Structure 1
C-alpha cells in the first residue's frame, strides 16, 4: 500500500488526535468519493444509471397514470362546460395525431389552458396549475398532461354522440 503525506493546519490535527477515528480509512473514502465525482462515468456505470432511471420512470407511470386519467375524467364529467370539453378533447386528438417531438410540457400546458379558458393569461395558468397539481407554481409534466387529456378524451368519446 502506498503512503501519502498530507499537510494539515495544527488546530485541525489537534482535533483529529482527540478522537479515536481511523483517519487513514476516512481519507481513503474521501479520496474515492472525490475521484468518482470528478472522473467521467464509464459505459457500464451509465448503463446502470439508465436502468435505474427506466425503472423509476416505469414506477412513476404505474403510480401516477391512473390518478391523472381519473382527474381528467372527473373534470370532464363534473366541471367542464360543453365548449371547454370539446376544445380539450380536440387538443387530445391533435396530440394523438401530432406527438410533440421533443415533448414540450410548457407548450402543452399553455395549449390546455387556452382550450379550457380560451386564453393563456398568467392567472389562468396559475389557476389550472393549482387545480392539477395543488400548487399554482408547479406545472405538471408532459406525461401527466397527456394522462389527464387521456381521461378527458375517454369521457368525450363516451358522450359526444349523445349530445
Structure 2
C-alpha cells in the first residue's frame, strides 16, 4: 500500500500521539479521501458512473462513522452498565453470521441479554435508552466494542 503525508496542527498531532495505536489513522482518513475524490470526479463530469462512485464513497464514510460510534458505545456499555453475564453473552455473538440482516442483529442482542423474554417490545429502550433501534452499522459496531472490551478483561475476572 502506498504512503502519503498530511499536515496537521501541533495540537492535533499531540492528541493523536496520546491515543497511540488504539486508532488506525489510515482507516479513519481513507473514507474521507475516497468521498472527496468521488465528489470531485462527479462535479468534473456528471454521469451515472460518477453518481454511483460518489454514493458508494458516501456509504462507506457513513458506515465507518456509524460503526465507530457504535463501537465506542458498546465499550462504554460494557464498562459502565453491563453485568458480567450480559457482557459474556454479547461476547459470544458471531458477527460473521449477523452482518446481513438488522432484525437478526436485534434478535441476537435481545436473546443474549434477555433469555427469559421479559423485555418484549421495549427491548430497544431497555438496552439503548431509545424506543427506536439503532442502525445495523451502529449495532454491529456496538457488539464489536463490547466484545473487544470483554476480550481485554476476561482473563482478569
Contact 1:68 1:151 in 2 (8 A): yes
1:154 aligned to 125, 148, 157, which one? 148
Matching residue of 2:68: 66
1:105 aligned to 99, 102, 112, which one? 102
Matching residue of 1:81: 83
Query: Offset of 1:112 from its aligned partner?
Result: 0.6
Contact 2:105 2:136 in 1 (8 A): yes
Contact 2:71 2:145 in 1 (8 A): yes
| Residue segments in structure 1 that go unaligned for 5+ positions in a row | 1-43
Query: Offset of 1:72 from its aligned partner?
Result: 0.2
| Residue segments in structure 2 that go unaligned for 5+ positions in a row | 1-45
Q: Report the Cα distance in structure 2 between the residues aligned to 1:123 and 1:62, rounded to whole angstroms.
A: 28
Distance 1:78 1:126, change over 3 A: closer
Query: Offset of 1:144 from its aligned partner?
Result: 1.2
Q: How does 1:10-159 map to 2 (within 5 A)?
A: 45-91=47-93, 94-96=94-96, 98=97, 100=99, 103-118=100-115, 119=117, 121-128=120-127, 130-131=128-129, 135-136=130-131, 138-159=132-153
The TM-score with structure 1 as length reference comes to 0.59
User: Aligned Cα RMSD in Å?
Assistant: 2.1
Q: Report the Cα distance in structure 1 between the residues aligned to 2:53 and 2:156, rounded to whole angstroms.
A: 46
Q: Report the Cα distance in structure 2 between the residues aligned to 1:51 and 1:150, rounded to whole angstroms.
A: 28
Whose Rg is larger?
A: 1
The TM-score with structure 2 as length reference comes to 0.61
Number of paired residues?
110
